Amino acid sequence: MTCGVGVIGAGTVGGGVIHTLLNNGDAIHDKSGQTVRLRHVADLNLDPLKEFDLTGVTVSTEAKALISDPRVSVVCELIGGVEPAKTFILEALNAGKHVVTANKMLLALHAPELNEAAVRNRVELRYEAAVAGTIPIIKALREGLSANHIRAIHGIMNGTCNYILTRMSEEGLAFEDVLQQAMDQGFAETPPDLDIEGHDTAHKCAILASLAYSTPVRLDDLYVEGITGITGQDVAYTREMGYQVKLLAIIRQVNGAIEARVHPTLVPDEHLLAAVKREFNAIYVESDIADATLYYGRGAGKLPTASAVVADIVDIARRDGAPAPEPFRYVHDLPVREMGLLRGQYYLRVVTEDKPGVLGTVCAILGHHGVSIASCTQKDEHGASPVNVVLMTHETTEADVKAALAEIDALENTAEATHLIRVL
Ligand code: HSE
């Protein structure tokens, strides 16, 4: 049987999917025995389609025409954003069509409603490309690791941030210069705020947390901190201490609640995630039966993302019209844990005047809040003003560190808000 595909959105990823369907039918057939045919493409701007030979493919500016095309059984939504993507997906599901999407923001905000529509209509909603592009992490969680309780997930899931942090660390470049290069290379969002403020990673974090623990996870409940506060000094100082700064999504279950958070994290040099450089993504999953597994690859880009979209289409085609498999179900309704309860080590850079007694006051405040200091170094020459005092704490709670910093930052000698980075 031939599986007919419709692609809504002929932009970067859509173009990659069209290219793959037109050129890699042989590989698809060899691996799956299926014939997958592009039947219909819809976009308001048809210019990008000029590069393709679309003989036999319907081209339209109306997504509704594509959804109702009887030759289309799988609809790919590749326009991104919330609307009209959500409407198109719901219309396709309600019309009995399977849907494949790469739309992480939409899923992070509306997955329960979309999943429910897929279940009700007995069709599939698949979104492997929405999280870390080429990396089959959704398949790993739903299939490869299905016998496991997930202990923790640590993910580098934004290529732009990892590219910036890598080049700041290895070449001592300034944040703004590297950001411009990431934008020029085409993997940063336009504008790149979703990347550098951590929201793109948060979308992926919410999707993975839901899958890992079979629970709806509201985006608003996640703690999200991007990399705009990371300075060259912090990258250099922490590198001397044996760490790489990475923007991580961290997901785990603690005492019946979900920890789901996104923030810059100091990853020890010996951890596998410290070796993930430039725009590459990687996800480290710890589970009770399989133990540790690591997934690595490109998280963005025209063809890498298309690879994941087309793999979802092929999986649907493999069923050859048989009923959709057991859908993803929310079995639990777990709360997201308060950030103040987090336990861990903290890197602190206090920027202060170099005067006798200042360091004593800072350490006394930390001690008063029960925060024990593992190391303390003044990074500048005596006489410089202000100076950087770098502290590493022992394990403590986020609430205690934050309470201490509120007092330290209010001291008259403190020159700017203390820089804080959590340690893995
Ligand atoms: N802009 C994202 C990144 C790619 O830099 O990884 C798509 O999520």
Nearest CA among 166, 162, 208 for reference residue 188? 162
- The rounded Å distance from CA 132 to ligand 1 centre is 8
Q: Write the DSSP string, 298-328.
A: E--SHHHHHHHHHHHHHHHHHTTTPPPPSPP
Q: Are residues 356 and 315 in the same domain?
A: no
| Residues 6+ away with beta carbon under 8 Å from 287 | 145, 148, 149, 150, 151, 293
- The rounded Å distance from CA 181 to ligand 1 centre is 14
Q: Are residues 38 and 97 in the same domain?
A: yes
- In the prediction, which pLDDT does 330 show? 87
pLDDT tens digits along 9-44: 999 999 999 999 999 999 999 999 999 999 999 999
Asked whether 95 and 116 are in contact (CB, 8 A), the reply is: no
Which residues are catalytic, by number? 204
Q: Are residues 221 and 362 in the same domain?
A: no
The residue out of 319, 352, 380 marking a domain boundary is: 319
Q: Are residues 246 and 220 in the same domain?
A: yes
Three-class DSSP labels, 344-369: ECEEEEEEECCCCCHHHHHHHHHHHC
CA dihedral 141, 147, 148, 153 (to 10 degrees): -10
Q: Are residues 202 and 228 in the same domain?
A: yes
Q: Are residues 369 and 392 in the same domain?
A: yes
Q: Are residues 166 and 116 in the same domain?
A: no
Q: How many CB atoms lie within 10 A of CB 241?
A: 15
Identify whether 148 is part of a domain. yes
Q: Which residues lie across from 253 on neighbouring strands?
A: 258
Q: Is the CB of 304 under 6 A from ligand 1?
A: no
pLDDT tens digits along 316-362: 999 877 777 777 788 899 999 999 999 999 999 999 998 889 999 99
pLDDT tens digits along 261-299: 999 999 999 999 999 999 999 999 999 999 999 999 999
Please give the residue range of the domain that contains residue 166: 137-297
Handedness of CA 300, 145, 206, 163 (dihedral sign): negative
Specify the DSSP element, H or E, that contains 59. Answer: strand 58-60
35-49, 73-87, 312-326, 393-407, range with the lowest pLDDT? 312-326
Closest ligand 1 atom to residue 192 Cα is 1
- The rounded Å distance from CA 161 to ligand 1 centre is 9
Q: Are residues 149 and 284 in the same domain?
A: yes
Tell me which residue has its CA closest to atom 7 in ligand 1: 300
Phi (first) and psi of residue 98, to 5 degrees = -75, 150
Identify whether 333 is part of a domain. no
Q: Are residues 128 and 149 in the same domain?
A: no
CATH number of the CATH domain containing 213: 3.30.360.10
How far is 173 from 211, CA to CA, in rounded Å? 37
Q: Are residues 193 and 222 in the same domain?
A: yes
- In the prediction, which pLDDT does 224 show? 98
Asked whether 74 and 5 are in contact (CB, 8 A), the reply is: yes
Nearest CA among 43, 55, 39, 41 for reference residue 3? 39
Q: Is the CB of 43 under 6 A from ligand 1?
A: no
Q: Is the CB of 203 under 6 A from ligand 1?
A: no
Query: 304-336: b or e for each residue (b if 16 or more CB lie within 10 Å)?
Result: bbbbbbbbbbbbbbeeeeeebeeebebeeebeb
How far is 276 from 273, CA to CA, in rounded Å? 5
Q: Put residue 383 in one of left, alpha, beta given phi > 0 → left and psi -120 to 50 → alpha.
A: left
Number of domains in the chain: 3
Closest ligand 1 atom to residue 200 Cα is 8
Q: Write the DSSP string, 148-203.
A: S-EEEEEEE--HHHHHHHHHHHHH---HHHHHHHHHHHT-S-SSTHHHHTSHHHHH
Q: How many CB atoms lie within 10 A of CB 163?
A: 22
pTM, full prediction = 0.95
- The rounded Å distance from CA 186 to ligand 1 centre is 9
Q: Are residues 191 and 55 in the same domain?
A: no
Identify whether 324 is part of a domain. no
Q: How many CB atoms lie within 10 A of CB 7?
A: 29
Type of residue numbered 101: T
Identify whether 403 is part of a domain. yes
CATH number of the CATH domain containing 11: 3.40.50.720
Q: Are residues 177 and 285 in the same domain?
A: yes
Asked whether 299 and 134 are in contact (CB, 8 A), the reply is: yes
Phi (first) and psi of residue 169, to 5 degrees = -75, -45
Query: In the predicted model, what is the mean pLDDT of residues 57-69?
Result: 97
Identify whether 243 is part of a domain. yes
Closest ligand 1 atom to residue 104 Cα is 8
pLDDT tens digits along 297-318: 999 889 999 999 999 999 999 9
